[in-house]
Structure formats: C-alpha cells, structure tokens
C-alpha cells in the first residue's frame, strides 16, 4: 500500500509567529523561558497540522530556532573558536551569536543552500573537537510522541553534506573529520531507536551535485558503518533539488529507503531507475509534488507517473512526498482571499501540497476516486487559456528579440566618458541602495495601504524620509548617493506590485535567513510594464543634491530567481519578458536625467544549476537578459549592478560579460575569500567588494574595513575600486547605519590619502 511522507515543513507559521517570537527574544522583550514555551507551541502546532492531514511519516527536527545546518553543527560541537564558552556549554545566546555576531565576534559566514533562496550558516571546522553535545532529535522525538502521539521521522543533515557545506579544513583533514563524526551520528541514531523511532531521514543533497569521486567512497564507508552499528531502525538517504549523480552507488547502500526528486530532475531519475532497476528490499521515497514552486499539480499526470513507478517497484515499497522540504514555499493559500479567484484557485502552498500528497495516496488506497483528480485539474487547464497568459504584444516581442539592442560601446570608451562627466575621487564611496525601514516607515506604509493615509500625504512622508537621508549621506561624506527606497517593501516585491502579470500575496512569506522572511511575487502571466515605477522618487532625490543619485532597479534574473515563476513556458522566456519591462524603466530614468543607474542582480549566482552541463546555458541566458535590460542607454550613462554572497570563481566570466560599468559584490563574511577569484581573472571595470557585513548589528572598526580595502587592492586596480557595504541597509537600525557608514567613509578617506601620497612620491 502506498503511503505518504513529508521531508520538511515551513518554520515561520501562518502569520510569521516564529519570526515575531525570535525578534521579541532578541530585543530582550521576552525571557528565555517564555521563548522556549512559545517555540514549543509553534512547533507542536505544525506537527498537529500534518497529523490531521493524514501524513504517515511526519518530519521531526526540521523545526529550528535559526537554521538546520547550524543546529547540526552545534549538536556535534562544531563551534568556531571565538564562540566557545569556558564551561564548554553553548547557551541559547551563544547559539544566536554564531549566526548574528556580537561585539568583538564576527558572525559565521552565511550562504545559499544549494540553488535556493534559503541561507544557511556555514560551519567552521578549524580546531574543532567533534562530540555529541546534546541529542536534540531525541528530545524533539519524545516531545512529539508524548504530546501528540506522533512517532515521527527524525531528520538530520547527513555527514557528507555537512562536511561539503563547511569550511576551515583541508582535504587531508576531511577524512579524519568524517571518521570522528561517524560514531556521533551512530550515537544519535541509537538513542532515537531506543526512544521508539522507526524511520530516520538523513539528508544528503550533495549527491545531486558534480562531486569528487572521493565522496562516493565516503558514502560506502559512512553508510556501511551505520548499517553495522544501528540495528532495527530504517535509515532513509534523502536527495533533492536535482537527479542524483550516483544512482548505482546509492541503490546499493545498506539503507532501508532512498529519497529521489522526480520534479526537478528533468526526468533523469526515472531514466536511471529504468536503466539500473530498484532493489526489491528497499523503499522508494518519491518526491512527486513540487516543493519549490506554488502551482497546483496536475494530479492526473502525477497519478499516471506514480502508477508507472509502482509497476516497477511495487505499491508496498513506496512513499509519496514533496520533491524537497516545504521550507521553500509559504504556509497556506487560505489567507489569500484578496487575490483574484482565477489566480488563487491554481495556487498550492505547503498545506495544499500536503493535501495533494494525501489525495493521491487516497486514490491509490481507493479512499477516493480518479474522478476527484480530474475535477482537481480543471482549473489548471482553464487558466492556461486565460487572457493573462496570452498577451499578444508581449509574445510577439519575445519572438522578435533581435529587434532590441543588447550591447554598448567598449568599456574603455565608456570609462573615459564617465571619468570626465562624474569626476569622482579615488575609492568613491556609496551604498547598495536601501536605508533603514524603521517601524514608523512601515507604520505609514500600512496606513496608506489600509486607506487611512491619502496618496498625497504618503508621498509627502516618503519625500521627507528621502530628504532626511540625502542630508545624512551628504553629512557623512558619501560620494554617490541613493534615495533610500523607503517606498519599497522588498527589492523584488516592489516591482512585482508594479508589473502586469505578477501578483503579490498577502501572507505568502518564506524564510530567507534567520528571522528575515520574504514574500516572493507570483509571476502568473505575461509580464509587462504600463507606467513608470521608480522615476518620481529618484528624480526628487536628485533635485536635493549636486552629487549623483543612483536610480535603483532590480534586474530580470533576480526578479525571476526570487519569484514563484509560472511553469507553463520556459523560465528564459519569462526572464526576457521581465528584462523588456526593466528596459523601459531604465530608459525612463535616463530620459528624466538619472544617468547613474543600478540594476541589481543579487540572485544571479543562486540560480546557477547544480549540474555543470546546465551552467553555461543558464549563464548565457542571464547575461543576455541583463544586457537586454540595460543596453539601450547612452554612452555617458553609467550602469551599476550588485550581487550577493561569495563563491564566484565559477561565474567570473559571466560577471565580466554583463558589461556593467560598476559591480559591487558581497565579500565581508567570507573574509575576502572572493578576492581570490580576481587574482587569475583580469577585471577591467569598476568594482566594489563589500567592506563590512550589514547582516550583523555590530559597527565595524576602521581597522577591519581598512584591512578589507588593503586585501582587495592587492589584486584590483585602485582606480577602479569602489568602497561600499556588502548589501542594502534596510534591516539595520538608524544609529548603527550612520555609525558604520562614518567608519567606512573615514577608512576610505585615509586610504585615499595614502594612495595619493604614494602617487606624488
């Protein structure tokens, strides 16, 4: 009999209860005891919901106070030296220090979880002594069992993925680290078995990447040790986000279950299964519902697919589940009554995806009929024929893209024009775009949205904030200013509200990092722009100062990668539709006198495919879309862009190919490691490598920033180097923002003087 399973559930709650609880605790408005009590209530409510939906295997341990990778590292005492305590125990406040930093302690690096928009805390394994600090999974398993009668499926990041996502050790040290972790995992599993666990999910998504052969050898070593030492419990090795690279090795591992993604694998996992078969004694955990997008599944097609699988494997050896953790989608559609019914009716968030799993399972167990699946699918077929997805002038434009320019005159000629026009000093200082969104800013926006504040009054309020921060920027001494983006909720959501073919949900929040949640726009139809989106605020800001004010836009690649994208046409076609819409805004800004324009591609790298053979096509499409959006400007208009996070070695040629005049890239948390990318690649355009970390509330010292500038200028031409924070400042407080920028400007000034003195010698 086919059964149901879930890989992971969103932490944040229907109304972001989790986020609010975290932030109350961080601001010392809630005691640790109150915090633990509230988190337990949230955690149990999530389990109860899955229980009520009839899910057979409910994940335990996917709930976290910050990040599941951090949880695993802390459990095994993989704690950076600077955060270790004298008594050897890690209190809750110390746990959050690793993620957020504190006075005198720089936070651990944060980076993307594979090719998603979720960020994990990178474990630092320099001088660590692995040991089991506390088996949190046993506590959580017992809690679910005692409070709800749920014998759940504990979930843990596997040792091979954990090491592969960590830093601070050599290849030679990897083997010894792995050997030291194996008995710790065995201890965790043994204690779980003793508590009554029947299934344990071990997440090894690293197996869908192009990994080294040594990792395949590690697989056999690790899972043979598990099999020899952990009896009477079923271990599942779970992969997701792509097809596995090592199917033959995977199916021969001594585990009870194997989890495969049959949604994002482009059909490869099924072909591998057909070619090599599937062991009779093992269970297949089939990821057949999309865990990363928000569209209803065509359940008749899913039924046919599962039927095909079951004919090869047997219904008694199959669990149906999402393709990955539902962490990557919002909680429920039921709170989206403001959306047009035609759009709402084709959406499925986490809860609705579990309903799809349950419905499919019930059809196979004959609790429901195939007719129920056919009725479910009707709205999907109807929506495909709607006017939203058949806008004639947009479809014609995509067919005739060759009519739109996608290149500019040489960068050398542009550079000379810009130097004469702007006359900026050495090491020009600027920010990435946004300034603090205070409670008052959010309050005024909410009043305006509710109709309690008129359009005129709201516009006047936004202008007052712009004026205030233009003044602050001039007083600090920044060279290139920004208007602050006070009218914007989120860098993608803002444009989603302005573009046709895009919907904004009311409560479609998804965790990005820590308590930071984003509300990805829903691209449901053909995308185009009816009116200017940013001109008014930018032109007003420029009227207040003689210094240049950058126009601030979000690029087409980032809008695509940070949105839920329609799945009835190619992502490339959708991206080019968005590029044409951004192009029209770039032209409007230029027409109104804004000739320094930043088109952010913060998410370009995170969309990178996990398979090497798919990388070049993605990068080529991304570069083309960016150039389509930016190449119609005049030579004297300077185009900037911004990208987040490190590990750019593999796309440095694409960064160059964007042909932006100035690029800024985050590099502070990775302590300048990104700079090595430029040691072997000559970059002849303007560049700013973020000189301090905005994700931490601490104010950097001049010495820290100076060191970051010094390291960068060992590789980069000082005449091309810009000094800026690593990201936007929206989430920071006003006082810390001003203090940090003053330090940054002073560090740049001191280094500028140093360079000038050397030039005169």
Q: Please, what are the domains in the chain?
A: 411-760 (3.20.20.210)
Residues β-bridged to residue 259: 238, 285
Q: Is 433 within any annotated ligand binding site?
A: yes
667: confidence class by pLDDT, cuts 50, 70, 90: low
- Residue 82 pLDDT: 93
Sequence-ordered list of residues with C-beta below 8 angstroms from that of 600, at least 6 positions apart, any chain: 432, 433, 491, 552, 553, 554, 555, 558, 641, 642, 643
Mean pLDDT of 650-677: 78
Q: Is 517 within any annotated ligand binding site?
A: yes
- Residue 606 pLDDT: 80
Dihedral sign for Cα atoms in the order 462, 467, 470, 471: negative
- Per residue in 478-531, pLDDT (tens digit) is 999 999 999 998 889 999 999 999 999 999 999 999 999 999 999 999 999 999
Q: Is 258 within any annotated ligand binding site?
A: no
Q: Is 18 within any annotated ligand binding site?
A: yes
Quick one: 404 exposed, middle or buried, by C-beta within 10 A (0-12, 13-18, 19+)? middle
Q: Is 389 within any annotated ligand binding site?
A: no
Residue 100 and residue 696: Cα distance in Å, rounded? 5
- Per residue in 592-642, pLDDT (tens digit) is 999 999 999 988 988 889 998 999 999 999 999 999 999 999 999 999 999
Q: Is 479 within any annotated ligand binding site?
A: no
Give yes or no for residue 336 having a pLDDT over 80: yes
Catalytic residues: 695
- Per residue in 677-690, pLDDT (tens digit) is 677 777 889 999 88
SS (H, E, C) 141-154: HHHHHHHHCCCCEE
Give yes or no for residue 761 having a pLDDT over 50: no
Q: What is the dihedral of CA 639, 645, 648, 654, to 10 degrees?
A: -30
- Residue 526 pLDDT: 98
Q: Is 464 within any annotated ligand binding site?
A: no
Rounded mean pLDDT of the chain? 94
Give yes or no for residue 569 having a pLDDT over 70: yes
Q: What is the pTM of this model?
A: 0.91
- In the numeric block, the tokens 């009668």 are attached to 149
Q: Is 516 within any annotated ligand binding site?
A: yes
- Per residue in 82-110, pLDDT (tens digit) is 998 877 788 999 999 999 998 888 899 99
Quick one: 585 exposed, middle or buried, by C-beta within 10 A (0-12, 13-18, 19+)? buried
671: confidence class by pLDDT, cuts 50, 70, 90: very low
Sequence-ordered list of residues with C-beta below 8 angstroms from that of 521, at least 6 positions apart, any chain: 492, 493, 495, 496, 497, 502, 503, 504, 559, 562, 563, 564
Give yes or no for residue 727 having a pLDDT over 60: yes
Q: Is 152 within any annotated ligand binding site?
A: no
- Residue 645 pLDDT: 59
Q: Is 345 within any annotated ligand binding site?
A: no
Runs of H (alpha helix) within 32-170: 32-52, 68-75, 92-100, 136-148, 159-164
Give yes or no for residue 137 having a pLDDT over 60: yes
- Residue 614 pLDDT: 94
Q: Is 585 within any annotated ligand binding site?
A: no
């Amino acid at each position: 009999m086919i059964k149901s399973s879930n890989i992971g559930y969103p932490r944040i709650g229907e109304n972001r209860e989790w986020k609010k609880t975290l932030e109350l605790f961080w601001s010392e408005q809630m005691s640790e005891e109150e915090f633990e009590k509230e988190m337990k209530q949230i955690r149990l409510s999530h389990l109860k919901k899955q229980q009520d939906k009839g899910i057979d295997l409910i994940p335990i341990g996917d709930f976290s106070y910050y990040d599941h990778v951090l949880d695993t590292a802390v459990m095994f005492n993989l704690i950076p030296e600077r955060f270790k305590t004298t008594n050897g125990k890690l209190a809750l406040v110390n746990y959050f220090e690793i993620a957020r930093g504190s006075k005198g302690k720089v936070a651990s690096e944060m980076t993307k979880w594979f090719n998603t928009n979720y960020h994990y805390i990178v474990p630092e394994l320099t001088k660590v002594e692995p040991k089991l600090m506390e088996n949190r999974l046993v506590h959580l398993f017992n809690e679910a069992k005692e409070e709800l009668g749920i014998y759940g499926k504990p979930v843990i990041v596997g040792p091979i993925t954990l090491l592969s996502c960590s830093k601070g050790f050599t290849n030679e040290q990897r083997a010894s680290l792995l050997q030291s972790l194996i008995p710790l995992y065995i201890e965790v599993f043994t204690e779980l078995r003793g508590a009554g666990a029947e299934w344990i999910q071990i997440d090894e998504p690293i197996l869908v990447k192009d990994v080294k052969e040594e990792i395949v050898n590690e697989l056999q070593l690790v899972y043979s040790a598990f099999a020899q030492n952990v009896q009477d419990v079923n271990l599942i090795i779970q992969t997701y986000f792509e097809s596995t690279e090592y199917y033959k090795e995977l199916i021969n591992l001594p585990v009870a279950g194997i989890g495969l993604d049959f949604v994002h694998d482009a059909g490869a996992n099924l072909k591998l299964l057909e070619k090599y078969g599937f062991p009779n004694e093992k269970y297949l955990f089939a990821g057949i519902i999309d865990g990363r997008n928000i569209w209803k599944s065509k359940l008749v097609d899913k039924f046919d697919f599962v039927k095909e699988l079951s004919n090869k494997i047997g219904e008694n050896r199959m669990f149906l589940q999402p393709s990955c953790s539902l962490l990557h989608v919002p909680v429920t559609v039921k709170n989206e009554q403001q959306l047009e019914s035609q759009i709402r009716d084709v959406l499925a968030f986490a809860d609705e995806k579990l309903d799809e799993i349950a419905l499919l399972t019930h059809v196979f167990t004959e609790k429901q009929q195939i007719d129920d699946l056919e009725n479910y699918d009707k709205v999907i077929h109807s929506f495909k024929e709607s006017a939203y997805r058949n806008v004639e002038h947009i479809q014609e434009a995509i067919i005739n893209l060759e009519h739109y320019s996608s290149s500019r005159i040489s960068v050398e000629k542009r550079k000379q024009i810009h130097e004469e026009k702007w006359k900026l000093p050495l090491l020009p200082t600027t920010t990435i775009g946004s300034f603090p969104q205070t409670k008052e800013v959010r309050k005024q926006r909410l009043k305006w949205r509710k109709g309690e504040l008129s359009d005129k009054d709201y516009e006047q309020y936004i202008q007052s904030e712009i004026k205030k921060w233009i003044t602050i920027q001039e007083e600090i001494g920044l060279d290139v200013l920004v208007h602050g983006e006070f009218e914007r909720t989120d860098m993608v959501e803002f444009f989603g509200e302005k573009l046709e073919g895009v919907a904004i949900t009311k409560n479609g929040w998804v965790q990005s990092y820590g308590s930071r949640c984003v509300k990805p726009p829903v691209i449901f139809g053909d995308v185009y722009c009816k009116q200017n989106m940013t001109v008014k605020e930018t032109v007003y800001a420029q009227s207040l100062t003689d210094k240049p004010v950058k126009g601030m836009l979000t690029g087409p690649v980032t809008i695509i990668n940070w949105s839920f994208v329609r799945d009835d046409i190619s992502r490339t076609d959708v991206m080019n539709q968005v590029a044409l819409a951004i192009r029209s805004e770039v032209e409007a800004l230029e027409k109104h006198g804004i000739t320094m324009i930043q088109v952010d591609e913060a998410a370009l790298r995170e969309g990178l495919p996990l398979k090497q053979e798919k990388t070049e096509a993605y990068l080529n499409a991304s570069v083309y879309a960016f150039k389509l959006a930016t190449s119609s400007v005049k030579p004297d208009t300077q185009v900037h862009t911004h990208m987040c996070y490190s590990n750019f070695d593999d796309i440095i040629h694409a960064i160059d190919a964007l042909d932006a005049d100035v690029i800024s890239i985050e590099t502070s948390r990775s302590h300048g490691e990104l700079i090595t990318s430029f040691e072997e690649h000559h970059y002849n355009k303007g560049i700013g490598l973020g000189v301090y970390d905005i994700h931490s509330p601490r104010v950097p010292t001049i010495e820290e920033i100076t060191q970051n500038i010094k390291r960068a200028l060992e590789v980069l031409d000082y005449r091309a180097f810009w000094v800026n924070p690593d990201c936007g400042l929206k989430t920071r407080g006003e006082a810390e923002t001003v203090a940090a920028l003053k330090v940054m400007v002073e560090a740049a000034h001191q280094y500028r003087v140093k360079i000038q003195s050397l030039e005169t010698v």
